[in-house]
Amino acid sequence: MNYKIAVLPGDGIGPEVIDQGLKVLNAVAKKFNFSVETIFGQIGASAIDATGNPLPDETIEICKKANAILLGAVGHPKYDNDPTAKVRPEQGLLKIRKSLNLFANIRPVATYEILYESSPIKTERIKGVDFVVFRELTGGIYFGEKGRKEEGNVAFDICTYSVAEIDRITRLAFKTAQTRKKKVCLVDKANVLETSRLWRETVTRIAKEPEFADIELTAMFVDNAAMQLIQWPSQFDVILTENMFGDIITDEASVLTGSMGLLPSASVGTELALFEPIHGSYPQAAGKNIANPLATILSVAMMLEYLKEFEPAKSIKEAVNKALEIGQVTEDISKTNPKSTSEVGDWITNYILNK
């Protein structure tokens, strides 16, 4: 098998962590006898610097020809405090989601024992936490009509959802739940929002289809869910939600584990999928070889699962577990004996090749 992978390193620590991800990808390719062809593209602040466009058309073309996309990180502080900037790195992200129709953002959250102490939540509460958030990614308030009226003194962002948009991500979430504990919690605000009521109606109807008879569906208002995620996170298996609520609760969920540096994600469409660490571009660490590459390496594992290369994916996850267990980790996890970004990548690569 030969896979074409579009690689978009992006900004800040993106290129460094991507290097480690590719090292590991090449290692499993060698070990499990498949080949990988990488094609690099630009996105984010670095693309603005080079071309004036946060997502040049050429990048979209590269992605469309690939079997999957691996992305580093997008963002630069020079844009953060300037809401009036006409072009922004994040536009690259929103545009790639929309133009490739990557409608489901999938973020697994699992806690690791070695990180219990680093979590802001008490160990007894986070033990055994293992859930996945399915966040709708191409609809809702993010992409609705927006603008100003009354001479700029009134602003609006419209939230719209169609049954078809809700339907496709719901089926994906249900199918994933069937490989897990079969519990799906729909997070919405159906006591206030009409779009949320359409979500409830649609999701409830699909749950009644014979194919999904084994799914246990519950629903929770988003404000309550925000609280439950802190108080009793281990109750969740699959969380299904719309774009904006998903943006907020995935950030909340990411701190439960004690390290943002460990969490991978997938953004899946009908034809293509993109894989990226959930952390940002962490500009303060860029070029210092200190960033944690594990989230990117685990994103490579998720990408391989998507390509149905389950054994290679498993061997990456095993190597990451081992690295955590014996302390082959960067300074965000180990204060006493931290390794560099490339040392962690090398260690994992060697472990895979020599095991």
For residue 93, the partner it binds in Mg ion, ligand IPM, none, with Cβ less than 5 to 8 A by kind, is ligand IPM
Applying CB under 5 A, the span of 39-47, 246-254, 281-289, 318-326 interacting with Mg ion comes to 246-254
- Is 142 catalytic? The answer is yes
State in Å, rounded, how far the first CA of the chain is from the last one.
Answer: 23
* 230 φ/ψ angles, rounded to the nearest 5 degrees: -90, -40
Measure CA 231 to chain center. 23
Helix (H) or strand (E) holding 7: strand 2-10
Q: Is 247 a catalytic residue?
A: yes
Residue 80 known to be catalytic? no
As measured in angstroms, the least distance from the Cβ of 247 to ligand IPM is 4
Part of the chain binding Mg ion (CB under 5 A), chosen from 100-108, 129-137, 156-164, 243-251: 243-251
Q: Which is nearer to ligand IPM, 27 or 274 (CB)?
A: 274
Residue 187 or 217: the one with the smaller Cβ distance to Mg ion is 187
C-beta of 6 vs 93, nearer to ligand IPM:
93
Which string of x and - marks every residue 90-109 that binds ligand IPM (by CB under 6 A)?
Answer: x--xx---------------
273 membership: H or E segment, kind and range: strand 273-277
Q: How many residues interact with ligand IPM (rule CB under 6 A)?
A: 4
Phi, psi (deg, nearest 5) at residue 334: -110, 115
Which amino acid does the sequence have at 285? A
Cβ closest to ligand IPM, residue 247 vs residue 346: 247
Contacting ligand IPM (CB under 6 A), which of 167, 237, 247, 343?
A: 247
For 43, phi and psi rounded to 5 degrees?
Answer: -155, 155
Beta carbon nearer to Mg ion, 247 or 305:
247
Catalytic, out of 189, 282, 306, 332 = 189
130 tagged catalytic:
no
90 counts as binding Mg ion under rule CB under 5 A: no
- For the chain, where are the alpha helices, taking DSSP H only? 14-32, 45-51, 57-64, 77-80, 89-99, 123-126, 163-178, 194-207, 222-231, 243-256, 294-306, 310-326, 341-354
b or e along 26-61 (b: 16 or more beta carbons within 10 Å of the residue's beta carbon)? ebbbeeeeeebeebebbbbbbbbeeeebbbbeebbe
Q: Does 252 bind ligand IPM (CB under 6 A)?
A: no
Binding partner selected for residue 207 from Mg ion, ligand IPM, none, CB under the kind-specific 5 to 8 Å limit: none
Number of residues located near Mg ion, criterion CB under 5 A: 1
Q: Kindly state whether residue 69 participates in binding ligand IPM, applying the rule CB under 6 A.
A: no
* Integer angstrom CA distances of residue 118 from 113, 122, 170, 241, 257: 10, 10, 33, 28, 8
Single out the segment in contact with ligand IPM by CB under 6 A; choices: 86-94, 125-133, 315-323, 339-347.
86-94
For Mg ion, which residue of 130, 167, 247, 343 counts as binding (CB under 5 A)?
247
237 binds, among Mg ion, ligand IPM, none (CB under 5 to 8 A by kind): none
| Burial class of residue 110, CB neighbours in 10 A (0-12, 13-18, 19+) | middle
Size of the chain in residues: 355
- Pick the stretch among 20-28, 45-53, 89-97, 226-234 that binds ligand IPM (CB under 6 A): 89-97
Of the residues 82, 214, 251, 288, only one is catalytic, namely 251
Other beta carbons less than 10 A from residue 327's beta carbon: 13
3-state secondary structure of 240: strand
Shortest distance in whole angstroms from residue 297 CB to ligand IPM: 19
Note the residues at the interface with Mg ion (CB under 5 A): 247
Q: Which residues are catalytic?
A: 142, 189, 223, 247, 251
Note the residues at the interface with ligand IPM (CB under 6 A): 90, 93-94, 247
